[in-house]
Amino acid sequence: MKQSIFISRNLSSDSKLLEHLSTNNWEVHSQTLIRIEPIPFEVEGEYNWIFIASSNGAKLLLNSFDVPDRTKIGVVGEATARAVKSFGIFPDFIGKTGNMNELGDALARTIGKTSVLFVGAEGGSEKIRSAIPSNQRTFLPIYRTLLAENVTIPETEIVFLTSPSNAKSYLKNASLEGKVIIAIGNTTADFLKQQGAKNVLIPSSPREEDLIELLRNS
């Protein structure tokens, strides 16, 4: 009998996760449950670092802003790193843990007493940037995350949710009752627990390889 999984992300054709699941005869449903609304922005001043928390943020920022050569780039996860690299920029810091508190501490150690501009979603999690002293950090919202409309979610045994917003959208349109629930990191897991979810699994990092390992062992 086929195992089935819903993933709240549009997987690319070269996704290692998709390759693994397809090779092992999984029934795979991958679909983002959110949509992005850009916010007009202007980067004012100079910063030693710019930190980007998502691939959406990377694309919106780098499509309209030329990062100065002396400015270093930090990102969350390999997906955001790939988005940055597609613009010919190689991140100086890649957060590889799904625990945003630990990631924030690692970033704080890396940047020391230098300045950092955080770009991301309006109203997004503050866990990473709260690890940086307030006199060193600036936050610039460059998009809003909205729930997708007219969503149809298939029934699956396993659900992998990739952000609190995707989790909120899933719960608006389907039930997690009786399903194996996997969250990409502790911020999404915390949101799900607040909504009453039990036994939420978290891979050791947001990398696809670590989700594959979790699926093998669960």
List pLDDT tens digits, range 178-205. 999 999 999 999 999 999 999 999 999 8
Look at residue 144 in the predicted model and tell me its pLDDT: 96
Look at residue 96 in the predicted model and tell me its pLDDT: 86
**HSE-up of residue 179 (Cα within 13 Å, Cβ side):** 24
Q: What is the CATH number of domain 4-33+150-217?
A: 3.40.50.10090
Residue 60's alpha-carbon distances to 34, 35, 46, 80, 200, in angstroms, are 16, 13, 19, 12, 31
Instruction: Reduce the DSSP state of residue 50 to 3 states and report it.
Output: strand
pLDDT in tens, 6-29: 999 999 888 999 999 999 999 999
Are 24 and 4 in contact by the 8 Å Cβ rule? The answer is no
Could you write out the three-class secondary structure of 177-204? Answer: CCCEEEECCHHHHHHHHHCCCCCCECCC
Residues in the chain where the model's pLDDT stays below 70: 1
Domain boundaries, the chain: 4-33+150-217, 36-146
Yes or no: is domain 36-146 CATH 3.30.300.30? no
Burial-class residue 65 by CB neighbours within 10 Å (0-12, 13-18, 19+): middle
For the chain, list the strands marked E by DSSP: 4-7, 27-30, 34-38, 49-52, 72-76, 93-95, 116-121, 137-147, 158-161, 180-183
Look at residue 47 in the predicted model and tell me its pLDDT: 98
Look at residue 19 in the predicted model and tell me its pLDDT: 96
